Amino acid sequence: MQKQVNEMNYEEKEELLKQIIQDLKETLSENRYLHCISTMKKARQMAQKYNQDEQIVMLTAVAHDIAKEMSNEEMIKYAGENNIKLDEVDKMATMVLHGKIGADMVAKKYGFTKEMQDAIYYHSTGRVNMTMLDKIVFLADKSENRRQGKDADKLRNIIEKEGIDEAILWDIDYYTIPRTIEKKKVIHIESINARNDITMKLKMEV
């Protein structure tokens, strides 16, 4: 049985991090592997800034795309064999599906906790009541330094100058949803739920 992350001491978590990095290096393309490392580094900076457990944040962030290079058929097959419930939108929203599959894999393979699994599960869409870990993984993925272009620059700027909730809202409204529409793909309901939730909370703060 895989030991649970919340039962591991500092050194065991360091070992696990090394093991995950090695596994990703062996299984992902170089580009995706480098994206995972860069996401981990960005997430670590955010963990320091927002006083979060660095090890938990780094473990979760580095593993967020563990299932990203599986084909749609492979993911649907994995879901069937591992009792993961998928609706029709899930099956069509490839962008989202790898989070759901990845969340299951990290629990079985590495003993990730429910909180860590959730951050991977929702890393592309967000959700209602996002935890700090959810927010860091969501934003580190989209703002890591290897991401180039004006959208990534804009997102990094909003994270820096306005805040993380504002940045998530901007990403969903001006990046994720418009891009999904452009590609004529389905918009996942969790993206809408996340943006409505954050919009209401930001309005209440004013």
Residues that bind Fe ion (CB under 5 A): 65, 141
Q: How far is the CB of 60 from Fe ion (least distance, A)?
A: 12
Is-contact 131 49, C-beta < 8 A?
Answer: no
Q: Which of 65/90 has CB closer to Fe ion?
A: 65
Cα separation, 49 vs 124, in Å, equals 22
Cβ nearer to Fe ion, comparing 65 with 190? 65
Q: Which is nearer to Fe ion, 141 or 197 (CB)?
A: 141
Closest approach of Cβ 64 to Fe ion, in Å?
A: 6
Q: Dig out the tokens for 71 from the structure.
A: 């084909």
Structural contact between residues 17 and 55, judged by C-beta atoms closer than 8 angstroms = yes
3-state secondary structure at position 85 = coil
In whole angstroms, the minimum distance from the beta carbon of 142 to Fe ion comes to 8
Question: For 184, left (φ over 0), alpha (ψ -120 to 50), or beta?
Answer: left
Least separation in angstroms between CB 144 and Fe ion: 8
State the sign of the Cα–Cα–Cα–Cα dihedral 85, 90, 94, 99.
negative
What are the start-end ranges of the E strands in 68-115? none
Nearer to Fe ion, 96 or 169 (CB): 96
Q: How far is the CB of 3 from Fe ion (least distance, A)?
A: 26
Q: Are 14 and 41 in contact (CB under 8 A)?
A: no
Cα–Cα separations (whole angstroms), residue 104 to 18, 54, 79, 146, 150: 20, 22, 9, 27, 34
Least distance in angstroms from the C-beta of 128 to Fe ion: 20
Cβ proximity to Fe ion, 134 vs 141, nearer residue = 141
Given the complex with Fe ion, which of 45 and 199 has the nearer CB atom?
A: 45
